[in-house]
Structure 1
Amino acid sequence: MASHTLHHADILPNGTVIHLTRAVLTSARPKALHDHDFVELFWVQNGTVRHHLPGGTATLTEGALILLRPGQTHALQGKGDAALVVAVALHPELVDDLDARLPPLTFWQAADSPGQIHRDMHQLTALNHAANLLERGPHDTLAAEAFLLPLLADLARNDTGLPIAAPVWLHRACAAAHDPAVYREGAAGLVALTGQSHPHVSRSLQRWLGQTPTAYINRIRMTRAARALTSDNEPLPVIAEAIGLNNLSHFHKLFRAHFGVTPLQYRQQFQRDVVQPTP
């Protein structure tokens, strides 16, 4: 396929830095790929979409969220009669400013290939609510950041750390592993999400992150435990049980390995001493 370029000057009127479009896709095969001189963020609101890329095609289902940087070529094709996408164009200067301020986030900073992540029903509802607010207000920098930052903060909270090139099934499983119902079950909970065998999941995590499934889940568990230690006064056995560790001695061992201090020392350092410091 040949390709052509879309320019932000044709899409973003003077004084605007963000533009939202809703479109029902036709089922006609695109005649050409296109790229942009701006960042495009789009998600599949309804139906199924065939995503054409230089290296082939991918099937996107409801909840797929895609980010394309300038120079990344693609095209969209509906599969069926109800393929609806919502696309957001972001001014290059807005993106440059965010790039300079944001911490590392795999999805946002994808450069070699489009960023892709899946939004579940509740996350998609929140995204659509934010889109509705954006549509009703000005399209200036404040409105753009009010739309983008909650989304990116949510993605950062559950960032898998996986490169974009990692398999989609692994991205989805690692993102879902932040759900308490999953990490309480340990490595078995993560593996069950994938539909793959335990050895295959282990090899894949070692390849893409250099970790075992157990190590990946324990990192999530310890992060959740650390938050609990500074935000409430629950006894340690309650916190350990909440993250799926009924053996208190094992909890202490894992926590010290991750943070270098015991859970009680961590609580004192980051909870009590912050609000009631001693000389």
Structure 2
Amino acid sequence: MLTTPAVTLTAADTFAPDEAFLLSRGELDTRRPPALHGQDFHELLWVQNGSVRLHTPTGKQDLTEGDLLFLSPHQLHGLQGRGTTPIVVSLMIRPGVIRAIGKRHDELGGIAFWTGCDQPHVTHRDMHQLAALNQAALRLERAPRRKLYLEAFLLPLLTALDRRPDGMTQDAPDWLVAACAAARAPEVFRHGAAGFVAACGRAHPHVSRTMRRHMGITPSDYVNGLRMDHAARLLTGTSDPLAEIAAACGLPNLSHFHKLFLAHHGETPQRYRRLRQRHLIQPRP
């Protein structure tokens, strides 16, 4: 375990007066860092290639390609490359920018820079998400170093991060949080509880016990809620027949679809659509 920091980086020494951010990428040294360091600004790092070892006062954690690391001010850390060509991308953010974004968007509580934890927050992007992130970083690299362009990069990323569903305990395992996020995709929830369990990568009995402990519901309860929310969006946003909407939710049995929708929304699908769907109104000349 590494000892006290040898250096503290400051915004005054890092940013020019008119810079809101700095973006860089590079290959990490594979030697163990001599000490931890701190900084008085936020930083987002992600592993673009290879693997990286994160050192903190409490120990070490290995990060792989696609892992994102959100560092808040004064979180002590050190980075060490592992294996062949360990490349990271670093986005350093001037103090005050992240605080201002958090004040405007309460929904960010509990993720990224707003976890409230003493340790850096780590999350993961899959291969396609990482490619999109790298493309967005290239656009940001060519943009002026102003807050407008930084927020245009950050907000799509932040809205896509895994969030704890309402009612989930704070000590729920990361794999359950990730599975709940993955289950919001139609290609997952169409397969019902089996699709959710597959996203968890655990045995069905273990998933069921864990969900009951941390959410008080079953995998079927959670997936059916996602299905009915999806159905509600289709009912108000399209003119698709009910049978097609039910099938799009993975429920070819129309009677079962009606029963689930009524239980979830307190209205039949027909009434829900009739009360909420609006036609475009054009002003008279």
TM-score by length of 2: 0.87
Code of the aligned partner of 2:111: F
Q: Distance in 1 between matches of 2:23 and 2:99?
A: 19
Pick from 256, 261, 268 the counterpart of residue 250 of structure 1: 256
1:124 to 122, 126, 130: 130
Superposed, 1:234-245 pairs within 5 Å as 234-245=240-251
Give the SS at the match of 1:72: coil
- 1:21 counterpart SS class: strand
Match of residue 69 from structure 2: 66
Give the equivalent residue in structure 1 for 2:115. 110
1:260 matches 2:266: yes
Alpha-carbon shift at residue 242 of structure 1 (Å): 1.0
Structure 1 runs of 4+ aligned residues shifted over 4 Å read 162-165
Cα distance, 1:165 vs. partner?
Answer: 5.3
Deviation, structure 1 residue 270: 3.0
| Cα RMSD, aligned residues only | 2.2
Could you tell me which residue of structure 1 aligns to residue 163 of structure 2?
Answer: 159
Task: Pick from 203, 207, 214 the counterpart of residue 209 of structure 2.
Answer: 203
Could you tell me which amino acid in structure 2 is paired with residue 213 of structure 1?
P
Q: Deviations over 1:186-239 (max 9, x none)?
A: 111111233312122123223333332222222222222222122211111111
Q: Is the 8 A contact 1:107 1:117 kept in 2?
A: no
After TM superposition, give the deviation of residue 160 of structure 1 in Å. 4.2
| One-letter code aligned to 1:177 | A
SS at match of 1:127: helix
Per the alignment, residue 5 of structure 1 pairs with: 8
Unaligned runs of 5+ in 2: none
The match for 1:271 is 277
Larger radius of gyration: 2
Name the amino acid aligned to 2:163: D
Question: Percent sequence identity over matched residues?
Answer: 49
Q: Which runs of 5+ in 1 are unaligned?
A: none
Where in structure 2 are the equivalents of 1:34-183 lying within 5 Å? 34-105=37-108, 106-108=110-112, 109-112=114-117, 113-155=119-161, 159-161=163-165, 166-183=172-189
Amino acid at match of 1:79: R
**Worse-matched range after superposition: 21-30 or 67-76:** 67-76
SS of the aligned residue for 1:122 comes to: helix
The worse-fitting range, judged by mean Cα deviation, of 106-115 and 160-169 is: 160-169
8 Å CA contact retained: 1:69, 1:110 = no
The change in CA–CA distance for 1:88 and 1:164 in structure 2 (over 3 A counts) is farther
